[in-house]
A = this chain, B = another copy of it.
Amino acid sequence: MREIRVIGIGAGDPEHLTLQAIRAMNDCDVFLHMAKGTEKDSLAALRRQLLADHMTHPFTWMEVEDPSRDRSGPAYVEAVADWHTARAALYDEALAQHEGVLGILVWGDPALYDSTLRVIALMSTPVDVTVIPGITAPQTLAAQHAVTWNRIAGSVHVTTGRRLRDEGMTADDVIVMLDSQNSFLGLDPSVEIYWGAYLGTPSEILLSGSIGTVGSQIEKVRAEARTEHGWIMDTYLLRRP
């Protein structure tokens, strides 16, 4: 039985790292990193800096190209499943090539909109998985705006841009991730939005107000930032007044 540590490393601030994550990193002998497209350089560099800062023994850094994923068709869930299978084969290969404990560093928390645990479930190698939670982008967003996710005795829904477009506001308080299409613009203009991009990094941008007031500004700022950086990671909280 081989060991894998799936380690949440936070939303972008190197100080999001927990003491538990630092300990788990130091349990590992080899780190596997899946490099993807445009985000490639800056995200891999941040991970390597965390290891340089906190590892107390030598380790192997293994970087492989992330299998390409069909983002074109409407069969989103099926395309993702194929991509997971291709990734699982690379995880198996990493274990075959290297001895010791395998570490996978995950942005945010491995439980929230991350595929690592689903990929591991598809591996052929029998593995013992330890998961370390990490600070997520929506937590960082709320902290930076000094707001809460939920209101007194209320609930909060965490969803995707795609679902927000299909289902609208399914609660008075909704957190939206993975929205590449400014899906908030279709909502009631009186809804409050707390928006943030590159959270926890020096490039962080925060905007808030009613959608009617700041919605088009967020659209503009987001497009400009994406052009400037070559990629964007953003999230937002929607709140009915």
Instruction: Name A's B-contacting residues (CB within 8 A).
Output: 8, 10, 13-20, 23, 76-77, 80-81, 109-115, 117-118, 129-136, 139-140, 142-144, 146-150, 152-160, 162-163, 170-171
Q: What residue of chain B has the Cβ atom nearest to residue A158's Cβ?
A: B156
Residue pair A80, B142 in contact (C-beta under 8 Å): no
Chain copies in the assembled complex: 2
Residue pair B148, A117 in contact (C-beta under 8 Å): yes
Residue pair B18, A10 in contact (C-beta under 8 Å): yes
Cα A76 to Cα B154 with chains together (Å): 12
A10-B18, A16-B20, A139-B109 known; A118-B155 Cβ under 8 A = no
Contacts of A149 in B (CB 8 A): 111-112, 158
Residue pair A76, B18 in contact (C-beta under 8 Å): no
Residue pair B18, A152 in contact (C-beta under 8 Å): no
Contacts of A20 in B (CB 8 A): 13, 15-16
CB distance from A16 to the nearest CB of B (A): 6
Seed contacts A112-B149, A158-B158; 8 additional CB < 8 Å A-B pairs: A14-B19, A15-B19, A15-B23, A18-B18, A110-B148, A112-B150, A117-B146, A155-B170
CB distance from A114 to the nearest CB of B (A): 7
Contacts of A14 in B (CB 8 A): 19
Residue pair A158, B152 in contact (C-beta under 8 Å): no
Contacts of A162 in B (CB 8 A): 153
Interface residues of A: mostly helix, strand, loop or mixed? mixed
Residue pair B139, A133 in contact (C-beta under 8 Å): yes
Contacts of A16 in B (CB 8 A): 18-20, 133
Residue pair A110, B77 in contact (C-beta under 8 Å): no
Contacts of A115 in B (CB 8 A): 152
Sorted nearest first, the 10 A-B pairs with minimum C-beta distance are A155-B159, A111-B142, A133-B139, A15-B20, A131-B143, A15-B19, A133-B143, A111-B149, A111-B148, A156-B158
